[in-house]
Amino acid sequence: MKSPLPIRILKAILIVLISLSILFPLAWMAIAGFKGKTEVLRDPFQFFPDVWRWQNYADIAADPQFVRAILITFIGALAFTALALVVNSMAAYAFARLEFTGKRLWWIYFIIPMFVPAMAILLTSFQVVTALGMLDTLAVLIIPGAASAAQMFFLRQFYLNFPVAVEEAALIDGASRFQIFLRVFLPQSIAPFVVMGMGSYLAYWNAYVWPVLTITNPDLTQIMQFLGNFRSDRGNDWGLLMAGSTLAALPTILLVLIFQRYIVNGVRIAGMK
């Protein structure tokens, strides 16, 4: 069913307007990165730089601390995502497919953390990681947040809907429950893993408060921590700061673009019955 022409034009205009207003702040940030110190906040106001100069981007990309922060955050985010998926998907499978003693009670224990706000345990978690000697190591960023009740809950919903027949066939063939998890369930889990993995990756990449509390070693500074420090130390150099922010946001935007198909369907899986 095709709509009449005027309506289609109206929709096209709306699409452009909505997209522009959503993406404008990001475009504004990237454009400011091209402006020199004197023109970035000039009166009279102007949209575009006099000359498109790459200097800010080149400067920030040549800052060894910035590059280091990007790399170390990337490595940490990958490790965090992998650990989270392994730990949470195993528990999700057990709760979806296995029968064991005390399952109902364990379920309550595993789901309670979903309702504990981070702030309520911020101080005592800090004391725990201090006592464990984890301060100023990558482990303090990777391990404490890996177990996620929400992620486990989501994966369990997904596994609950798996056809039982395949599993029974494998059982008759003498496969163990764990083998079934590895060979039957995991290969089918790409879509929810991408959605959940993105969530983990973004949470790690964008984290600020926890790294600020636990990391003081400049070699381990995380990217958002770097940006926060940059703003307090050199906050008036807006062009450079905007260039740095653009480069720090770029990897996450690329991730969304690469996996857009999964995200859009992911919400459907998430909303699955």
Partner 1 sequence: MSTTDMALPGPLLQQEVPIAPTGRRRRRRNPPTAKHLRSNVTAYLMIAPMGILLAIFVIWPLIYAVYLSLFKINFYKPAEFVGLQFYLYVLQSEKFWKSIGVGLYYVVLTVPAGLVISLLVASFIKTLSKKAAGWMKTTVYIPAAISTVVASVLFVFIYQDQGFANWFLGLVNLGPVNWLNDPSLALPAIAVPGIWLGFGVTTLIMLAGLLDIPDSYYESAELDGANWFQRTWFITIPLLKNVSLYLLVTGVVAAIQMLDLPLIMTNGGPVDATTTPNLFIFNSFRDGTPYATSFSLTAALLLFVVLGTISAVIFRLINSDKAVDG
Q: Which of residues 24-53 bind partner 1 (CB under 8 A)?
A: 25-26, 28-29, 32, 41-43, 45
Q: Is 114 in the site for partner 1 (CB under 8 A)?
A: yes
Residue 46: HSE in the Cβ half-sphere, 13 Å Cα cutoff = 13
Residues 145-164 that bind partner 1 (CB under 8 A): 145-154, 157, 160-161
Contact 178, 188 (CB under 8 A): no
The string over 256-265, giving b where at least 16 C-beta atoms fall within 10 Å of a residue's C-beta and e elsewhere, is: eeebeebbee
Residues 63-102 that bind partner 1 (CB under 8 A): 80, 86-88, 90-91, 93-101
Choose, by CB under 8 A, the member of 60, 220, 227, 240 that binds partner 1.
Answer: 227
In angstroms, the Cα distances linking 83 to 15, 77, 93, 106, 179 are: 39, 10, 16, 21, 19
Q: Is 122 in the site for partner 1 (CB under 8 A)?
A: yes
Q: Which of 245, 243, 213 is nearest to 226 (CA)?
A: 245
In the complex with partner 1, which residue's Cβ is closer, 51 or 264?
264
Write the burial class of residue 142 (CB in 10 Å: 0-12 exposed, 13-18 middle, 19+ buried). Answer: buried
Choose, by CB under 8 A, the member of 13, 178, 216, 219 that binds partner 1.
Answer: 178
**Structure tokens given for 123:** 């101080």
Which stretch of DSSP H or E encloses residue 65?
A: helix 64-97
Q: Write down the least CB distance from residue 52 to partner 1, Å.
A: 19
**Structure tokens given for 31:** 């454009």
Residue 203: what are its φ and ψ, rounded to 5°?
Answer: -60, -40
Q: Write down the least CB distance from residue 255 to partner 1, Å.
A: 7
Instruction: Pick the piece of the chain touching partner 1 (CB under 8 A) from 48-56, 61-69, 182-190, 242-250.
Output: 242-250
- Which amino acid makes up residue 155? L
In the complex with partner 1, which residue's Cβ is closer, 67 or 112?
112
Instruction: Pick the piece of the chain touching partner 1 (CB under 8 A) from 53-61, 64-72, 183-191, 224-232.
Output: 224-232
Choose, by CB under 8 A, the member of 5, 22, 62, 165 that binds partner 1.
Answer: 22
| Residue entry with tokens 């935007």 | 253
Q: Is 196 in the site for partner 1 (CB under 8 A)?
A: yes
Q: Is 270 in the site for partner 1 (CB under 8 A)?
A: yes
In the complex with partner 1, which residue's Cβ is closer, 188 or 269?
269
Q: Is 208 in the site for partner 1 (CB under 8 A)?
A: yes
